[in-house]
Structure 1
Amino acid sequence: MFMFRNCAVLVIIGSVFCFLIGILNLQVGVEKNACRMTYMFGEPMFARVRLQDKESELYPNYGLYYYYEGARQQPVDPLKKRMTGAPVIFVPGNAGSHKQVRSLASVALRKAMSSDAGIHLDYYTIDFDEELSAVYGGYLHRQHKFLKLCIRAIAKIYGSRIEEPSIIIIGHSMGGKLAQSMLTDSSIGQHINTIISISAPLDHPVLNLDEHLEQFYASTNTILNQSRTKTLATTTTNVCNSLHQRPLSEQQRRNQESSARLDNVLLISTGGGNRDLLVRPGYTTSQFNDLHAMTSAIPRVSLSCDHLSAVWCLQFMQVINRFLFSIAQTRGDGTVHFNTNKERNLQSAMAHFIKPRSRHQNIVKLPRDSNWHEERRLVINKYFSNGLKAHFYDLISIKRPERYRKLSIEALNVDDDVHWLFGCAAEQLNNTEQVYCDKAIPLTHLVQRLPNGDQDSRNVALLDLHNLMKTYRNWTHILVSLPSSNRRIGYNLDIYDPKERHVDISLPKWYSFGQRTAINETLQGTLHYRLRISNLIEPYQSLRVLVEPLQCLKPEYRVTTRICVPWAAGFERYQTLISPSDKPGLYVNVPIIIPPHYNTTINPVIVDLYLDPICRYRISYEYSYADALSRLVLEFSGWLPAHLACVLLIVLRKQVETFQVQGSFKSLKPYIGYLQYTSLLVVTACRILKKLILNTRVLPEPENLDFSINISIVIHCTAIGLSILASLVTWLSLTLYGNAFYRVALRVTRLSQASSNIMISIMTYLPITYGVLTIAMTLSTCSGIGLLLAFVFYFIMLSNAYKDYLEDYLWQKAANLLHLATGTRTSDESESSGQENNENALEKDADEDGSVRTKTDEDTCVGLQNFPFHITLLLMLFMQLLLSAPATLAWLRRHHSGVDLPDAGIYPTIIVLGSLSVLLQLRAPQKGCGYWALSIILYLISGIVLLYCQAAIYRLNYIFAGAFALLAAHQAISILVRR
Structure 2
Amino acid sequence: MIVFRNCAVLLVIASICSFLYGIAHIHLEVEPNACRMTYMFGEPRFARVRFNANKLFPNYGLYYYYEGMRQPLDPLKTRMTGAPVIFVPGNAGSYKQVRSLASVALRKAGEHPHTGKHLDYYTIDYDEELSALYGGYMYHQQSFLKHCIRTIASLYSQPSPVVLIGHSMGGKLAQSVLTDAEISQHINAIISISTPLDHPVLNLDAHLGRFYSETHEQLSRTRTATQPSIMTNVCQSLHQKPLSEQSMTNQDLSAKLDNVLLISTGGGNRDLLVQAGLTTSQFNDLHAMTSAIPRVSLSCDHLSAVWCLQFMQVINGFLFSISQRRDDGSVVFSNNKHRNMQSALGHFVKSPTRQQSFIKIPTHNNWHEERSLVINKFFTNGLKSHYYELIGLGRQPRYKKLAIEALNIDGDENWLFGCESYRNIETGQNYCHKATSLTHLVQRLPNADQDPRSVAILDLHNLRNTYEKWTHLLVRLPPGSQRTGYNLDIYDPKDRILDIRMPRWYASGRRVAINETLQGTIHYRMRIADLVEPYQSLRVYIDPQNCLQPKYRITVRLCVPWAAGFERYHTLTSPDQKPGLYINVPVVMPRHYNTTLNPVLLDLYLDPICRYRISYENSYADALSRIVLEFYGWMPAHFVCVLLIVLRNQLDKFQVAGSFQSLKPYIGYLQYTSLYVVTGCRLFKKLVLNMKMLPIPEQLDYSINISIIIHCTAIGLSVMTALALWFCLTTYGNAIHRLALRLTRLSSSGSNIMLSIMTHLPITYGILTISVALGACSGLALFLAFVFYFLMVSNAYKDYLEDYLWQKAANLVHMATGIGKNSKTTKENQSTAVANAIDQSPVPSDDDEQSQNQGQDEQHEQKPLQPNKDKAEEELCVGLQNFSFHVTLLLLLLTLLLLSVPASLAWLRSRRHGIILPDPALHTTIVSISSISLLLQLRSPQKLPGYWILSVLLYLCAGTTLLYCQIAIYRLNYIIAGAFAVIAIHQVLQRLYHKLRPAAT
TM-score interval, smaller chain: over 0.9
Q: Counterparts of 2:75 and 2:84 in 1: how far apart (Å)?
A: 11
Question: For 1:754-903, what aligned pairs fall within 5 Å after superposition?
Answer: 754-806=749-801, 865-903=881-919
Q: Counterparts of 1:694 and 1:433 in 2: how far apart (Å)?
A: 76
Paired residues of 2:239 and 2:350 also in contact (CA < 8 A): no
Q: CA deviation at 1:246?
A: 3.1
Aligned match of 1:77: 74
Change (3 A) 1:252 1:240: closer
The amino acid of 1:587's aligned partner reads Y
Aligned match of 1:819: none
Change (3 A) 1:673 1:474: same
Aligned match of 1:822: none
Aligned match of 1:91: 88
Change (3 A) 1:731 1:808: farther
Q: Counterparts of 1:6 and 1:617 in 2: how far apart (Å)?
A: 46
Matched, 1:7 2:7: yes
Change (3 A) 1:810 1:515: farther
Larger Rg: 2
The amino acid of 1:895's aligned partner reads R
Aligned match of 2:43: 43
Q: CA deviation at 1:360?
A: 1.1
Q: CA deviation at 1:431?
A: 4.7
Question: For 1:661-676, what aligned pairs fall within 5 Å after superposition?
Answer: 667-668=661-662, 669-676=664-671
Q: Counterparts of 1:593 and 1:511 in 2: how far apart (Å)?
A: 20
The amino acid of 1:4's aligned partner reads F
Change (3 A) 1:744 1:243: farther
Q: Give 3-state SS (helix, strand or coil) of 1:26's partner.
A: coil
Aligned match of 2:128: 130
Matched, 1:712 2:707: yes
Q: CA deviation at 1:953?
A: 0.2
Q: Counterparts of 1:558 and 1:476 in 2: how far apart (Å)?
A: 32
Q: CA deviation at 1:850?
A: 14
Aligned match of 2:383: 388
Matched, 1:934 2:932: no
Q: Give 3-state SS (helix, strand or coil) of 1:658's partner.
A: coil
Q: Counterparts of 2:583 and 2:616 in 1: how far apart (Å)?
A: 10
The amino acid of 2:128's aligned partner reads E
Aligned match of 1:63: 61
Change (3 A) 1:377 1:331: same
Cα deviations across residues 407-434 of structure 1 (Å, max 9, x unaligned)? 1111111111111111111111345421
Matched, 1:148 2:118: no
Aligned match of 1:906: 922
The amino acid of 2:7's aligned partner reads C
Q: CA deviation at 1:292?
A: 0.2
Q: Counterparts of 2:605 and 2:493 in 1: how far apart (Å)?
A: 14
The amino acid of 2:44's aligned partner reads P
Matched pairs, number: 949
Q: Counterparts of 2:765 and 2:87 in 1: how far apart (Å)?
A: 49
Paired residues of 1:296 and 1:573 also in contact (CA < 8 A): yes
Q: Give 3-state SS (helix, strand or coil) of 1:332's partner.
A: coil
Matched, 1:362 2:357: yes
Q: Counterparts of 1:511 and 1:848 in 2: how far apart (Å)?
A: 53
Superposition TM-score, scaled by structure 1 size: 0.93
Aligned match of 2:870: none
The amino acid of 2:948's aligned partner reads W
The amino acid of 1:904's aligned partner reads P
The amino acid of 2:896's aligned partner reads Q
Question: For 1:85-234, what aligned pairs fall within 5 Å after superposition?
Answer: 85-115=82-112, 116-162=114-160, 166-234=161-229
Moved more, 747-756 or 804-813: 804-813
The match for 2:242 among 235, 238, 247 is 247
Q: CA deviation at 1:885?
A: 0.6
Matched, 1:573 2:568: yes
Q: CA deviation at 1:506?
A: 0.1
Matched, 1:482 2:477: yes
Cα deviations across residues 105-152 of structure 1 (Å, max 9, x unaligned)? 001111110113121110000000000000101000011111000000
Q: Which runs of 5+ in 1 are unaligned?
A: 817-827, 837-846
Q: Give 3-state SS (helix, strand or coil) of 1:599's partner.
A: coil
Q: CA deviation at 1:946?
A: 0.4
The amino acid of 1:36's aligned partner reads R
Cα deviations across residues 669-726 of structure 1 (Å, max 9, x unaligned)? 4421100000000000001100110111000000001110000000000000000000
Q: Give 3-state SS (helix, strand or coil) of 1:440's partner.
A: strand
Change (3 A) 1:506 1:815: farther
Q: Give 3-state SS (helix, strand or coil) of 1:475's partner.
A: coil
Q: Counterparts of 1:769 and 1:863 in 2: how far apart (Å)?
A: 19
Aligned match of 1:824: none
The match for 2:548 among 548, 553, 565 is 553
Q: Give 3-state SS (helix, strand or coil) of 1:239's partner.
A: coil
Question: For 1:252-267, what aligned pairs fall within 5 Å after superposition?
Answer: 257=252, 259=254, 261-267=256-262
Matched, 1:606 2:595: no
Cα deviations across residues 60-114 of structure 1 (Å, max 9, x unaligned)? 11110000011x4322111111111110000000000000000000011111101
Paired residues of 1:93 and 1:174 also in contact (CA < 8 A): yes
Q: CA deviation at 1:370?
A: 2.1
Cα deviations across residues 746-797 of structure 1 (Å, max 9, x unaligned)? 4445555444332222111111112111101111100000000111111111
Q: Counterparts of 1:436 and 1:368 in 2: how far apart (Å)?
A: 7
Paired residues of 1:422 and 1:480 also in contact (CA < 8 A): yes
Q: Counterparts of 1:101 and 1:467 in 2: how far apart (Å)?
A: 49
Change (3 A) 1:390 1:788: same
Change (3 A) 1:252 1:966: closer
The amino acid of 2:26's aligned partner reads L
Cα deviations across residues 435-482 of structure 1 (Å, max 9, x unaligned)? 112111111111111111222431111111111111111111111111
Q: Counterparts of 1:626 and 1:441 in 2: how far apart (Å)?
A: 50
Paired residues of 2:226 and 2:246 also in contact (CA < 8 A): no
Aligned match of 1:537: 532
The amino acid of 2:394's aligned partner reads K
Matched, 1:412 2:422: no
Q: Counterparts of 2:183 and 2:387 in 1: how far apart (Å)?
A: 56
The match for 1:326 among 321, 325, 328 is 321
Paired residues of 1:663 and 1:927 also in contact (CA < 8 A): no
Change (3 A) 1:852 1:79: closer
Q: Which runs of 5+ in 2 are unaligned?
A: 812-828, 839-854, 865-876, 996-1001
Change (3 A) 1:618 1:590: same
Give identity over the alignment, percent: 67
Change (3 A) 1:752 1:278: farther
Matched, 1:452 2:450: no
Matched, 1:428 2:423: yes
The amino acid of 1:445's aligned partner reads H
Q: CA deviation at 1:896?
A: 3.9
The match for 2:970 among 925, 949, 954 is 954
Change (3 A) 1:378 1:666: same
Aligned match of 1:302: 297
Q: CA deviation at 1:574?
A: 0.4
Matched, 1:925 2:946: no
Q: Give 3-state SS (helix, strand or coil) of 1:241's partner.
A: coil
Matched, 1:977 2:993: yes
Paired residues of 2:201 and 2:274 also in contact (CA < 8 A): yes
Aligned match of 2:371: 376
Q: Give 3-state SS (helix, strand or coil) of 1:383's partner.
A: strand
Q: CA deviation at 1:371?
A: 2.9
Q: Give 3-state SS (helix, strand or coil) of 1:592's partner.
A: coil
Change (3 A) 1:188 1:263: same
Q: Counterparts of 2:805 and 2:587 in 1: how far apart (Å)?
A: 48
Question: For 1:640-719, what aligned pairs fall within 5 Å after superposition?
Answer: 640-659=635-654, 667-668=661-662, 669-719=664-714
Q: CA deviation at 1:659?
A: 1.9
The match for 1:403 among 360, 377, 398 is 398
Q: Give 3-state SS (helix, strand or coil) of 1:437's partner.
A: strand
Q: Counterparts of 1:716 and 1:284 in 2: how far apart (Å)?
A: 27
